[in-house]
Amino acid sequence: MPNRKACDVLVCGAGGFIGGWLVAELRSAGGLSIRAVDIKPLEQWYQLFEDVENLTLDLQDRAACERAVASGVREVYNLASNMGGIGFIEHNKALCMLSVLINTHLLMASREAEAQKYLFGSSACVYAADKQTESNVTALREEDAYPATPEDGYGWEKLFSERMCQHFTEDFGLHTCIARYHNVYGPHGTFDGGREKAPAAICRKVISAKLSGKHEIEIWGDGHQTRSFMYIGDCIKGTRLMIDRDIPGPLNIGSNELVSINQLVDIVEEIAGVRLKRRYNLRAPKGVNGRNSDNTRIQEIMGWQPSISLRDGMEKTYRWIYDKMSAER
């Protein structure tokens, strides 16, 4: 293997949504050498920066993880996984669980390379199902992940990987941080193809109805299921604060602005200036009935919580997707 320059920060999953935004933030901070890794070919990355060392590697393979952390990486961000919206994770449970190989091999390689900090991007899908049965849900505290009954497949992988991070800290002294993300959305993400999440999917459906003149929209479920959605800018700020302040977690990084899917459609319709006939597909995947983030701990520990309103974040997301879809037409 040829000699490679030392690297301050490694971002795994850099070709994805959160990873791409994190690389952009690290670049803007200045003074850091950054290595960006993703399984996708470079032309498929959501954001690509020429002044960063970009590598296409399958991090399910241990040798690829060893290559990724080579040359003295100090901070490792593991944002790499097979994931998507509820339709994807309900129909690809085994594929989602194979992401455990990424975290396992990356932890081992980071320990051997003597990385100083390791952040694992977890998910609110780790939370116990019996605490999410009502749309008027009580906000979820970090301890509500146990007794464990997470989302089948994807949620189990995330919860197991959280435990592995904690034990690598306890047994080997590798400093790990665990960020539990709640429904991250924003520009420069996927909005079609099956992996998109609700905010992007609803933007796409509303835009399609507006551009086609067919003023109707299909909604998965009855529309009463509730969620909180966090804008990508808040996600990146919370992630950086967490690793900069050496907070191990698990820690909720999510908005506590609870809305129903019907209310989310209302917001997008208002942004678009249209009203659509709603068709409810009760056979489609809809996930849990309610999920919200309890931000007590993040406020106590960091004196901060996500603050970008859903209306403001959706405006930016809608405009970006609209421009993309209009250009394609």
- What residues are labeled active site? 154
What is d(CA 42, CA 168) in angstroms, rounded to the nearest whole number?
Answer: 32
State how far the alpha carbon of 122 is from the alpha carbons of 78, 103, 143, 220, 253, in Å.
9, 11, 14, 25, 10
Q: What dihedral do alpha carbons 258, 261, 266, 270 form, nearest 10°?
A: 80
Which tokens belong to 72? 């003295």
Which tokens belong to 69? 């952390």
Element (H, E) at 149: none
Element (H, E) at 294: none
> DSSP labels for 204-244?
HHHHHHHHHS--EEEEES-S--EEE-EEHHHHHHHHHHHHH
Is 67 in a helix, a strand, or coil? helix
Identify residue 222 by its one-letter amino acid code.
Answer: D
Is 10 in a helix, a strand, or coil? strand
State how far the alpha carbon of 81 is from the alpha carbons of 69, 71, 125, 276, 295, in Å.
17, 24, 14, 35, 25
